[in-house]
Amino acid sequence: MRWLLAPLRAVAFSAHVLLGIAIVIAIFPFVDQIRRNRINQGWTRILIALTGARVVATGVPLSDAVRLDGVDITAPGRLGLANHVSWLDVFAINAVLPCRFVAKAEISKWPLLGILVARSGTLFIERGRRHAVAAINHAVSQHLRQGETIVVFAEGTTTEGSVLLPFHSNLIAPAIDVGAAIWPIALRYT
C-alpha cells in the first residue's frame, strides 16, 4: 500500500514547493518578519507531513513570542547551533522554531529552490571568500539585535550523524557580541 502513496506524495510535495515559491514572491515582500515566520512555519509543517515524517521536539519550553513568531523584541535574539544530517533538518527546525538559517551561497543559485530559500530570509555565506565570515557575522548581528532567531549548522556540512565534526566557531561571534543566547540543537532521525 505504501508504494501507492509514494507517487501521490511526490506530486503533492512538488506542488507544495511551487506554492511556497509563489508565497515568497507574491506575499513576503508585503508582510513583516513575524508574519513571514508564521507563514513559513505553517508551510513547513505541511511539507513535513507530506514526506510522512514526524517531528518530536524535547528540551526547554520556548516563550510564546519565540515559539510562535521567531522574534522576541524584548531581548537579544537566539543563535541556534545545530548538527546537520539531512535535507529535512531545516524543515524540522523551522517546524518547531521559526528562524532564519545561515547557508552556503550556492544554494541561492539552485533552480526554483534557490528562490524559495533566498526569499524566505536565509542569510548566505560565500565559502572561500576571505571576508565572507565578517560579512555574515555583521548580518547575523543585525538580526539578533532585532530579537530574531538565527540557526547555523556549526559543522558546515552534513554528516551521517554518529559523530560531530569540528565547529566553525567564528560563526558564534555575533551572539557573543550582542549578548544573545546560544542554543544547542541536536537532530536525530529514527
The DSSP string of 36-97 is: HHHHHHHHHHHHHHHHT------SSPPPHIIIIISB-TTS--EEEEE---STTHHHHHHHHS
Q: What percent of the chain has pLDDT over 70?
A: 86
Percent of the chain with pLDDT over 90: 56
Position 128 scores a pLDDT of: 78
Q: Which residue has the higher pLDDT, 58 or 169?
A: 58
What is the Cα–Cα distance from 144 to 179, expressed in whole angstroms? 9
Does residue 112 register a pLDDT over 70? yes
Per-residue pLDDT tens over the stretch 24-47:
999 999 999 889 999 999 999 999
pLDDT, tens only, 5-27? 888 889 999 999 999 999 999 99
Judging by DSSP bridges, how do beta strands 181-185 and 100-104 pair with one another? unpaired
Q: Which domains does the chain have, with CATH numbers?
A: 2-185 (3.40.1010.10)
Read off the pTM.
0.87
pLDDT digits (tens, 9 = 90+) for 144-168: 999 999 999 987 666 666 667 677 6
Which pLDDT score, from 0 to 100, does residue 23 have?
98
Supply the pLDDT for residue 68: 66
User: Which set of grid coordinates corresponds to residue 175?
Assistant: 551572539
Average pLDDT over all residues of the chain: 88
